Amino acid sequence: MGHLKLHIPGPVEVSEKTFRAFCQPMVGHRSQSYKDLVAKIQPQLQQLLATRRLVYLATSSAWGVMEGAIRNLVAKKVLNCMCGAFSDKWCDVARRCGKDAEALQVDWGSPIRAEAVDQKLATGQFDALTLIHNETSTGVMSPLAEIAALKKKYPDVMFIVDAVSSMTAVPIKFDELGIDVLLAGTQKAFALPPGFAVFTCSAAALARAATIRDRGYYFDFLEFQKNAEQNMTPSTPSIAHTYALSSKLDEFFAEGLEQRFARHRRTNQMTRDWAAKHGFTLFPETGSESLTLCCVNNGAKAGGRVVEVPKLQQLTKEQGFLIDGGYGKIKGKTFRISNMGDETEATMNQLLSALDQAMGQL
């Protein structure tokens, strides 16, 4: 079978152009050429995240930095805001790192609300919290700005935010939010191959890290800062990813960030409209739907037509497209369609007509 176009919520489809950028000849990672490359992309990354802090490049999937943030910043106890598979897992990961961790669990489909976070932090037990901006497993986007506003009330709590499936698709202004860590893997909305992550830290986060023992080496935030000051990384990075990231950033700014955000809103709306046209409801609570993917109920909840998700996936696959069949405990009860990355009205129309046809064959 030929290539299946990826409309799963990560990894997403990578363009030919990005692959060509990825496949350039290697240079030494301590060479002037590499430093020049990082010096070129650093201001672009800072503009993307609206920050004056340095943005770091990590050669790992997002989880590397997610775990690293725990190791670098938690001394007392971490509050894990949990509303789906990835955010639930972060609590488990914190405990595996030997940290004291407490869950703020809400039902899957619900967002994390600032009031609930406030109540927990008011106990004074916590020196860090983890939050996933866009919970990819449930298609729920939590109100990041409202939650981040609590930082003013709890300045000693480290606010660690995963924006893996929202960064580059919706505006996230790091300095304005006042949070401490913002991270993303590159295989979601960046539309780069998997295996690379970008993140940034507040000065307070670096100060906290300096007080913490057993930070390890590979994800030591102080090492990242020290090396980034020289346009380098602590260890040999995926240089291919750095080339591809540079190419991608040029594309972002050629399109314009605002235009990029607006395009994601439009392509997401197209998916929502498609779901509504077929009588499907969305899994997230109304008002908390993601802008980068749709997590669609299979119909059972609405009491209407119920589709067998594996069949829908198979029929879609036969037309060359891969969609996701639901994650974890909502596998089969939901399916997910991504509009992240390079997708346009034209490419979404191709997918949605394939889905229409699949629906007709069910």
- The CA distance from 44 to 107, in Å, is 37
SS3 content of the chain, % helix, strand, coil (to 5): 40, 15, 40
CB of 10 to ligand PLP, least distance (A): 5
Q: Of these, 18, 72, 165, 313, which contacts ligand PLP (CB under 6 A)?
A: 165
Q: Which residues pair with 182 in a beta bridge?
A: 161, 200
Contact call for residue 132 and ligand PLP (CB under 6 A) = yes
Is position 298 an interface residue for ligand PLP (rule: CB under 6 A)? no
Maximal C-alpha separation, the chain: 63
Contacts of 259 (CB under 8 A, 6+ apart): none
Dihedral angle of Cα 75, 92, 90, 213, to the nearest 10 degrees: 30
Q: Which is nearer to ligand PLP, 62 or 94 (CB)?
A: 62
Quote the least distance from Cβ 162 to ligand PLP, whole Å: 5
Which of 99, 188, 208, 241 forms a contact with ligand PLP (CB under 6 A)? 188
* Secondary structure letter of residue 53 according to DSSP: S
162 part of the interface to ligand PLP, by CB under 6 A: yes
At its nearest, how many Å lie between ligand PLP and the CB of residue 112? Answer: 13
x/- string (CB under 6 A) for ligand PLP, residues 63-102?
Answer: x----------------------x----------------
208 binds ligand PLP (CB under 6 A): no
- Choice between 238 and 315, CB closer to ligand PLP: 238
Alpha-carbon distance values, 292 to 28, 144, 295 (Å):
36, 15, 10
Among the listed ranges 34-42, 131-139, 272-280, 351-359, the one in contact with ligand PLP (CB under 6 A) is 131-139
Query: Measured between alpha carbons, how far is residue 269 from residues 88, 272, 292, 294 in Å?
Result: 28, 5, 10, 9
Measure the CA angle with vertex 83, ends 81 and 86; round to 5°: 85
Total interface residues for ligand PLP by CB under 6 A? 14
164 near ligand PLP, rule: CB under 6 A: yes
Residues that bind ligand PLP (CB under 6 A): 10, 61-63, 86, 132, 134, 136, 162, 164-165, 185, 188, 194
